[in-house]
Structure 1
Amino acid sequence: NFLQKRSEKGFFLMVEGSQIDWACHANDATWLRAEMLDFDSAIKQALEFAASNGETLVIVTGDHECGGLALTEGPDKKSFKPVFSCKLHTAALVPVFAYGPQAELFTGLYDNTEIYGKMRQALGVQQ
């Protein structure tokens, strides 16, 4: 398990759920659900490691939204029906979630290009 290995210098690990984007381009809710569950599992492992380690910052975000997904009321009023508005990227805001040391740097509303600078700040690396 990569996360269990120790390094004097620490590590940077990027995990991408690229097929979430592909599923949204295809407007395929079943595929999207499967990919989101896989991504959720990866996030869970990262958060568990960060909670036990205490020195790990976990950042979860996306580079854009795709498909314009909305969840509408299902026929029995106890479920929902996924509805896509397009097969392209949208201008929807993309959230950023952070957990761990310096997570407070990632609050608020900002352009996603600012994430790099915030990561450098969290690491104490000057620009």
Structure 2
Amino acid sequence: MLPPIETIIENFEFIDDWEERYRYVIELGRALPEMPEALHSEANKVHGCASQVWLDMAVDASAGESVLRLQGDSDAHIVRGLVALMVALFDGKTPREAADTDAFALYARLGLAEHLTPQRSNGVRAMADRIRRDATRLAA
């Protein structure tokens, strides 16, 4: 199970070594709940990522307020960890909150923006743009 995003941020602040931070991102990917194979579809595929990435967004209104439920996966360990960060950041937010959230700012705050390859940074941006676009559509 993924820890809350606040816990992830706190953990990053305590880890100084970048090798350890990368290991932590990979651990987050391992903690990401398994995405059903049926959701590994073209409709859920995020284009713009060097690795294969899938994101599925659903709305859960069972508690009265509509919140987003995200699932994600990747075929690469580090990228699966980056997907896990997205899921931790957006899962449980209302569509409006998600549409107003700057995911790339989180990556910059964690120092990942300067330590990821340009391809991975582009992939993170593609994931964030996809979530923001879908959340904006759902919030309308």
TM-score (norm 2): 0.32
Q: Which has the higher contact order (CA 8 A, sep 6+)?
A: 2
Q: Quick check: which one's strand share is greater?
A: 1
Normalised to the residue count of structure 1, the TM-score between the two structures is 0.34
Q: Which has the larger radius of gyration?
A: 1
